[in-house]
Each structure stands twice: as C-alpha cells, then as structure tokens.
Structure 1
Amino acid sequence: MGKNIRKVIKTDQNPAADLVDIQEDIKVVADLNPAVNWGRYQQGSNSHDAPDPYEPQNSATPNPTHDPGLNTGYVLHHNGPQYFGYLADNPQVLNNNLHGARDFFDAVENRTLPADGGVFYLRGGYDNNDGLVPVNPTPAIQQAFLGNGDHPAYSDQQISEAFAARAINDIANSPYWSESAIIITYDETDGFYDDVSPQRRSTFADGSPLAAGPRIPTILISPYAKAGKISHHYSEHGSVIKFINELYGLVPLASLPDEKQGRELGAKTLGQPNLGPSDNPDNEVGDLTEAFDFAILRGEKDPIPPARATFPQNVVARLPHLATPYYSQSGYTNGACEAVGILPTDFLSPAAYKAGEPIDPYPVDVNPRPTQSPGTPTSGTGTP
C-alpha cells in the first residue's frame, strides 16, 4: 500500500498509471473490508414513530432526518453513528441507513431487508408505537413511562419487553429466520447487585477501572444457537463486533495501523496490553461463537424451529404479561415467573413464591416506585 500511496502523490509524472494504482488500492481495501449492509432503527428517528407525550412535535433536539426536531420520541445521545463524522455528515447514510423503529418492523414484515443480509440495530426511545401504557394506573406514571428503551426515568420494563418480543416474533415468522442471529444486550447494570467481582482489563492513569464492570445480560436467539445454555466465556460489547468481524471477514478495528501501534505502546509504556478496541483477535474477549451449536451448522442436527422463539401475540400486546389476577395476597408476585417455569432466587420454593414470601422482603418504609407515584405502599398512603 505504501508504494502505491507514494505513486499517487506524484500524479504529475504519469496520471494514467497513477489512476490505475488508485483503483488497485480501492480494490485492495474493498477486498479486506467487504461491504456489509447495515441499518440503525431507533425509536423516534423520523415521523413514522410516536412522539414523546411531554413535548409537542417540532420542539425536540434535532434528529438525523431531513426534518430536524420533527419527532420528539427520539433520544439523541443514543444514536451511535452521530459520533463518527464520516457517517453523521454523510447524506447517503442519513437517507439509507438511519431509520425509525416502525421502519424496522415494516422492512421485516414486507420482506424489504437486503437479500444478501446485513447487520441491523434496533433501539427504543421515549415512547412506543403500539399504544401500550404502564400497568400502574397513576396518570403521571402512564404519561411519563411510555418509553420502550428499557432505560430508567422514561421507560416501562414490560413495554420494553413487548418491543423486543415483537421484533423476535417478526423475524422468527419471516424467511429471515433461517439465516438470523438475534443478539439482545444492555448498556448498563442499572445498579443491580452482581455477586461476581468485575474483571479489570485496563485502567485510567489514576488507577481507576477503565474497562469491564458488573455483568449485564446478553441473549442470543438463532436457529443455530445452543438452546437453553449459558456461556461463561468472558465477553463484553466488543464481542458483538468480534462476531460481526468473524461473520463477514472484516479487519478488526484493533488491527488497524494506528490502533495496533497504540496497543503496542500501551503494553510497552504502561503495562496495559488491552487499551484500544476490544475486538483485538488476540485477546481473551469472546466472539459469541461459543453460543452456537456447531452440530446444527454442520447439518448433523435440525435447526431450532421458529416456534421455539416466538411469543403468543395476546401476551405481547397485553400488560401485565402472563400475570394471574390476585395470585399473591401480599402483592409480591403475580404468577408471571411461574407461567414461564422460573423460580426467582428470592423465594425458597414455588409455594413461597405463590404466597409472596421472599427471603429478603422490602423494608416496610421503602417505596420502590418512581417519584410520580408518591407515598409508602405499606403504610396505606401510596398512590395506586
């Protein structure tokens, strides 16, 4: 590559030959990094999606469409591509790759995703397109927590679960299922306790952790997955990138010249070999391939049928999901876990779960609900 770059600089000597060199360079880069279809589908990115009920239309922070500020259901800082100028400033990307959440479901249901596949990212926002409202009847709660992004302060957990379930159903019930890998993951722990200490892979200059923290869930759904299995391989968000690299034969970000030099300097001068992109093929970070059943991939076993991945539509569209009315007199449980064959660790037995008798009950003066629902439930002063 270096020889050809030097030739390109000297264009006054033989322009025709230099043009051939440029074309050869482009071909080499294309061969190293084949084109991969991709799309980002984010709630509120365009006017196809429901707006934030707190803000009127045309009043929000600009979004990446031709009509900035049109849809208030859009969470600006969750749009990853905007942080890369070569994407954010590219009109073709804005037109062809950044879409609203409803556009994803339309594309799957109408079979308009690229025929040769790709990588498609779906994320929620300040509202949902299915008209769902939280189960809590408090008006302030029902207005403030319509989001489907499963994020504190504006989302409802069950609405977010319905959002994911509908996406899974749509894919499983489409021709795309036979070639799909659905990866569901989260960007933070929301403070939930983790009994396993975080692994410190790298640190800031002051010694504080730079990478790895409390564990977060990741679910892989595919006709080629190891059904019902849990992977204990160390993985992180970079593992999704590693998987994409492996699937499409892409050059890892960590192997690019500047990144590779930076990692070498980090190891030499700071004793930290894990600085830089975590998709380094030589590190211990997993690439998610351990979650696949290679016997299925080799044709020795039948793929998992789509029925194993789908949810009944009447469950997806109704809140609360799978709840049994008056299941527990104490109100601790509603039967949803029993319906899917799960016994939460807070309960010693199914009988204790049904009785609503956890081993670690809430203190009597705690109100775990949002500020829009004031009062202490156990004292009789809670807002229903």
Structure 2
Amino acid sequence: MSKQVRKIIHIDMDCFFAAIEMRDRDLPSSIPIAVGGLDGRGVVATCNYAARRYGVRSAMPVAHARRLCPSLCVISPDMSKYREESLAIRSIFRRFTELVEPVSLDEAYLDVTGARHCGGSATHIAYQIRYLIWRERRLTASAGVGPNKLIAKLASDWCKPNGQFTVPPQEVSGFVELLPIERLRGVGPVLREKLHQLGIFTAGELRRLPLHELTQRFGKMGVSLYKQAHGMDDRPVHAHRERKQMSHEQTFPMDLTTWSMVEAELQRMAGELLVDIARADRLDQVYQVVIRMRSAHFETRQKMCRTEQFSLDVVMSMAKQLFNECGEAVRLIGVGVIFAKAAGGRIC
C-alpha cells in the first residue's frame, strides 16, 4: 500500500507589521515605512517594499536605515495589535484544518492532507485563504504549496509579495535542482565556500555527492544537505509546537582579531535574533541570554545571564567580557535566548 502524499501549505504574511500600520493609518504603499525601535538601540523589525528599494532591511539599526532612506517613516511597534491580528488570521487557517503550526506572528505551516475543502486541492485552499485574509483583514499573504515543509517554504519565497506557487510531487526534483546552495537550511558563508571549493553551487550539483561522502565531510549537516538536495523532509506539522530557545550562530571564513570586528558581526546577529523573538511574540518571555565564542584554536567559552528582556546593550556587554577572556582571535560566535518556560534547557 503506497504512502499518502502530504499536502503542506506555507503562509507568509507580506511585511506584516508594516502592512498593518499602513492599513490602519491609511498610508499609500509608495511611502517608505519601517516599524522599529525594538530596544534602546533602535532596530528595524520590518519594512515595506518601498523602503526595501532603498536597501532598508529587517534587523538593521534604525539610524543606518535613515541614512539609506532619509524620507523613511519609522513607526514604533505595537506588539499587542500585531498579536491580535495574527490570532485573527490563524482563525482563518483553522476553517480549513486544525493542523496549523505557527512559526511566528506572520508565518505558519498548514497540513491540509485530509481536508475536504475546495475538492481537497491544496492549491485552491491556499488561494481561498489568501482571498479571505484580504477580504476580512485587508492584508496580503504569499503562499507555497508542496508535499513537505521544505518545499512549501521554498515555494512561498518564489512569488513574493502577494503571490503563490505550487510544486507538485512529480516536479520536486526539477524545482530543487537549480536552487543555489545558500537557499538550503544551515548553509552559511563558511559552508557555502567549502561547497563552492568542491565545485558545488546548486542543489542539483550537490546531488552528485553520495550520502556517505557528505557525512564524512560535514557530519550530521551532511545528512541534512543530502535530504534537502533531494527535496526530502519528513518533519510533521505540529499544531502545538513552542520553541524552548532561539539562537543564531555563525562560523566566519576569516578569524575576527579585534573587538570592533566582533562587535560589528555580533550587532548584526543580535539584531536578527531580536527581530525573530519579536516576530514569535516572545519578547516578554526571555529568561536567559547566552553568548558563545570559539577561538581560532577551537577553545569554546560561554557566558549566560538572567534577564527579563533581550537587550543589545546586555549582549554587547557580555560579549566584550567573553572576548577579553578568550584573549585571542574568534572563529565562531553564537547568541541565543532561553525562554522562561524552558529555563532548564540549553542553547542550540
């Protein structure tokens, strides 16, 4: 008996926080807008597409965003409003399936494998959901449809904003084949460079390497690379999944030899993490901040601090102490948080 093919939808709201403010303030889409000021240093949480044309991006310091776009309209975030909007949109999802896994306030996976709506067509269900979001909430969403979470997520990036793309099971191989390797989960600058040195620039080229060779070269990450290159992903959609922690970690191709070099990289990474925490609506649940550094000689040091909120000032203070304790160049930096309900956990 053949295994039932899954039908997974990934919904990603278009510049969610900014779109809500544009709607509520009746602002035209031509005005560059950013929602920012998540902490004292002022980080952009999101921005509209008019601002992105100037190079403004999420996690960017507001001061830098203003230099790129002097006419930028910066709006302070209203998390309670965004939370209510997210709940209203999730209620639309649940008209079609109870298997809804929110990734953040503006993003979710839906498993509609057994749904009877729209004749059981995941593509038509996604269209209907996007139509209802626009009709009832006056917001736009992009959607991807595929046989697993990996493909659905990649597909939702294909036609942004306010677009939709479906990858049927028989087209997965061709869809993945031409993807640049940096589009695969876990492929950062260092791993990308290693793969480029092997002559691998696309997922299709990555398929040339057998599983045992990828595992030998990259350990557990080799297994992940193999599965992604072949469009495989057996992760289920969890209706009640809640992350215990969040972290960003990066290995650098060149050693960071001075505090100013570490500070620049860490400010970017911490800004990205801050935005992820906000999008997950967990700013008030941070219990501990964790900083990790690995020296050029592979000695790892870690510092933890209990705190009621994630602050870039706290992160920088902790990191500077840790860098001084390392006493040498740094090759890897990790910054993460443990949430209150998971205080006994460890950073990834």
State TM-score, norm by structure 2: 0.25
State TM-score, norm by structure 1: 0.23
Report the structure, 1 or 2, having the larger strand content. 2
Report the structure number with the largest CA radius of gyration: 1
